[in-house]
Amino acid sequence: MSRSPRVLLGVTGGIAAYKAAEIVRRLKSAGAEVRVALTRSAHAFVTPLTLEVLSGQPVYGEEYLEGNGSGEELHITAAAWADVMCVAPATAHTLARLALGLADDFLTTTALAFSGPLVIAPAMHFEMWSKRAVQQHVATLETRGVRLIGPIDGPLASGEVGMGRMADPESIVAALLGAASRVAARKTGSLAGRTVLISAGPTFEPIDPVRFLGNRSSGKMGFALAAEAARRGAHTLLIAGPVALGTPAGVDRIDVETADQMAVAVAATAPGADLVILAAAVADFRPKAPAGQKIKKDQGVPTFDLEPTQDILAGLAKIAPTSIRVGFAAETERLEENARGKLLRKDVHFIVANDVSRTDIAFGREENEVLVFSRDAEPVTIPRQAKAEVAAALLDLFTAALAPPVVGPTLGAIAGRR
């Protein structure tokens, strides 16, 4: 980002509001521009003057709703100004208003008008946090791509200890700066001039003309990666197995069904790609001799001889030796052990591992949590969040591994990458 990141911080009426001063201080120290909006209740916990001095900007309050007589709709201009918006602390009442799309004060009208990444740091008593109504509002916000930081387990204002304490300012600021950097990557086209190839979804291996061997992959993670790569300016190629998903804007899509078809498509496109991400859940085995006609039940229980499919990821280094190569590992046990082994065996730069035995991030879910392994660094954890946000964090890692672009016909075939 050529200019400083811009953060709009909303502060609501909870005891943790006093920590807003530290959030502002840390953001300013990191070089961010900060503006603050206080709800009416927040005034009881922290004064506008404190936040105005720390931010160097006037603090938004209810008197700004009408634009101070200027005719300007300041909730609209504030939303347009910000790269990232944060609500910290976010009370149970505020979570409900945001989830329901209510807009009855400056903070919520601005949030409704804001189109960038929204980060929320809930804070409340553990009895409130655990209630079904609150959790439903949280789930609604998360499915819309809102990033929640915390709450955490710790001492509460009541003197009790439990889940409901606002996340530490350091963690909140790190999340905000990370979100701002992803906004910058999209705006500046950090992948402009690059070609990114992504595979997604399952493969179906025919048993007969009607039935197949398949898996539960929805393709959502791979499609999120393709959408993010296109937003960052990449020429994005998406090889999609049989999924019920629309093609992301700016993405060239190739539809396949079987592992063999996917292998052919990868072989044809990977040599020209700067970054190859094989996120598809390719079948490991297929029937050796599929039946030519539908197998009838009255013929008895059929038996099948299986044979392995082509290992597309293992062959990638040979067909795309100068590309940054990324594989996925969907595991149900020994996640780290299996992922590290795959990293070495497949000769790739990154393995993205996730535990598909978990019901909250398994196939078809809207969220994911992954552990990223690379050749020469410690594993990186990308915590549970919307798959679009996971995709953005992953592309931050992969883009950093790309060699500087060169001008001329060798673009996309750069030697010397790790």
Report the distance separating Cα 383 and Cα 390, nearest Å.
Answer: 8
By 3-state DSSP, what share of the chain in percent is helix, strand and coil, each rounded to 5?
Answer: 35, 25, 40
Decide if 403 contacts 411 (C-beta within 8 A): no
Cα dihedral sign for 395, 401, 406, 408?
negative
Instruction: Give how far Cα 148 sits from Cα of 91, 183, 279, Å.
Output: 13, 17, 25
Instruction: List the end-to-end C-alpha distance of the chain, in Å, as a whole number.
Output: 26
Decide if 243 contacts 268 (C-beta within 8 A): no
Report the distance separating Cα 177 and Cα 187, nearest Å.
Answer: 15
Structure tokens at 140: 């609604």
Decide if 287 contacts 213 (C-beta within 8 A): yes
Catalytic residues: 215
CA atoms within 13 A on the CB side of 110: 36
Report the distance separating Cα 102 and Cα 12, nearest Å.
Answer: 15
Structure tokens at 169: 């300012």
What amino acid is encoded at 401 in this protein? Answer: A
Instruction: Give how far Cα 183 sits from Cα of 145, 198, 394, Å.
Output: 14, 21, 14
> Cα torsion at 180, 119, 46, 101 (round to 10°)?
130
Report the distance separating Cα 78 and Cα 75, nearest Å.
Answer: 5
